[in-house]
Structure 1
Amino acid sequence: MKNTIKIIVADDEELFRSGVSFILQREKNIEVIFEASNGIELINYLKNNNNYPDIILMDLKMPLLNGVEATKLIHKEFPIVKIIALTSYNTKSFIANMINVGASSYLVKNATPKEMIDTINEVAEKGFYYSDEVLKVIEDDIISNDIISKSTFDVDYLTKRESEVLQLMCEQFSTHEIGEKLFISSRTVEGHRNNLIIKTESKNIAGLVVFAIQNKLIKLDYFH
């Protein structure tokens, strides 16, 4: 994980936005580099600045360009940027929609500051963070999966080591932890991870995890 996690907070409620920024700025490893009050401001910042964030905290209900549409654009044009969706709602349909548009995690607005900071650190380190509830939604096949149809993907296309790495990734172990468990270097783990993304034609780690669960490439025992 990087020493400093660069964050943008995008929310149209100034008091909430300022409160979140204040909490985050107190963390030694987090820097808030920009605040946006709507999706247009956010997209303009990304297009006109080279100082990209690692993570955007994205409110889904904003004027001019809402968070869902902004997430779609960012996922396509700035795929390296991870998005944590902010919402007042915590329903299965919201979770499914959030993952479909490319978010790496989500936070309900009544979450505690600790939950917010923990989620940011998890996403920065692992590329995604899905709670048990989100994993259950994925397992239930609510997420649409248009990357590759299940019938055309050959599980044997993955090597034994790639399957082991994939299983541990879906169990939300970090690169370093996976390396320790499999007695391989972090760089080797990253190599396997990149191969998995290429083989499954996933856009990022979060997409890879969704693909793996829905195509039953991993054991699901750890959900229960």
Structure 2
Amino acid sequence: MNSKINIALVDDEQLILEGIKLLLSKEKHISVNLTSINGNDFLENLEKLSPEDFPDIVLADIQMKPMDGFELVEILKTKYPELKIMILSSHYKTGVLGYMVKLGVSAFLPKNSPKQVFIDAINAVYKNGVFFTSEDYSMLSSYMNNSQKKKSLFDNSDELTEREKEVVVLICQEFTNNEIAEKLFLSPRTVESHRQRILEKIGAKNTVGLVIYAIVHNIYSPPVNL
């Protein structure tokens, strides 16, 4: 892991962009290496970054032109599946949160969030892959009460086996393949096979999607962030 958390910012409101950058500049363990006022410029500039400056987390707005946040997230998740994405938006609604979860977004925060919640979210996403507040859980719970919406979150037709669920929980707890292999008395290659099969079964593209799947299907319960 890097000594600092590399952050990229995308927002078409210049004042918001500069304000967030200034706020994060006061955190010694966080470095903002890229800012862009639209998705197209961001994608172009992202490709030019050196590996050491490549972001660990992208903070993006939803309402942007000519490319909105939804389209940007879909492109990023296709080209950089392990890249963690946090959405900062004024449009904090259950349906939007559900759609963002389906895309594999790591956190969804209102723009009027307190500073400490914002910093805590960045730290949690960097360490654990996701950040959900108690309000997020309430909204997701409401979303999941609708069977059609629940089914739409993940295109999965096969149930996970008990062994696969054990692997999922350990992945959520950030254990490596070798560590999982030791705990479950398996070979690392077998653990990797389990991981790939799980991703295929649940229709997730990456570890973030796997963690979110585990949360919404009550396989794993992370600490709740208030």
- Structure 1 length as normaliser, TM-score? 0.78
The superposition leaves residues 144-169 of structure 1 with CA deviations (integer Å, 9 ceiling, x where unpaired) of 234422xx22423527x426526xx3
From 159, 168, 173, the equivalent of 1:153 is 159
In structure 2, what residue type is equivalent to 1:209? V
**Structure 1 pair 36/193, CA: closer, same or farther in 2 (3 Å)?**
farther
Query: Which one is further off, 129-138 or 41-50?
Result: 129-138
- Structure 2 length as normaliser, TM-score? 0.78
Give the corresponding residue for 2:88.
Answer: 86
Q: Measure the CA separation in 2 of the matches of 1:164 and 1:78.
A: 24
Matched, 1:209 2:200: no
The alpha-carbon deviation at position 79 of structure 1 amounts to 1.3
Give the length in aligned residue pairs: 205
The alpha-carbon deviation at position 23 of structure 1 amounts to 0.7
Q: Measure the CA separation in 2 of the matches of 1:7 and 1:58.
A: 11
Q: Percent identity?
A: 25
| Alpha carbons 1:197, 1:205 under 8 Å: kept | no
The alpha-carbon deviation at position 12 of structure 1 amounts to 0.7
Give the corresponding residue for 2:41.
Answer: 41
The alpha-carbon deviation at position 128 of structure 1 amounts to 1.2
The alpha-carbon deviation at position 132 of structure 1 amounts to 2.8
SS in 2 for 1:158: helix
In structure 1, what residue type is equivalent to 2:107? S
Q: Measure the CA separation in 1 of the matches of 2:27 and 2:101.
A: 27
> Over aligned residue pairs, what C-alpha RMSD do you find?
2.9
In structure 2, what residue type is equivalent to 1:84? M
The alpha-carbon deviation at position 197 of structure 1 amounts to 3.8
**Structure 1 pair 137/162, CA: closer, same or farther in 2 (3 Å)?**
same
**Structure 1 pair 6/162, CA: closer, same or farther in 2 (3 Å)?**
same
SS in 1 for 2:66: coil
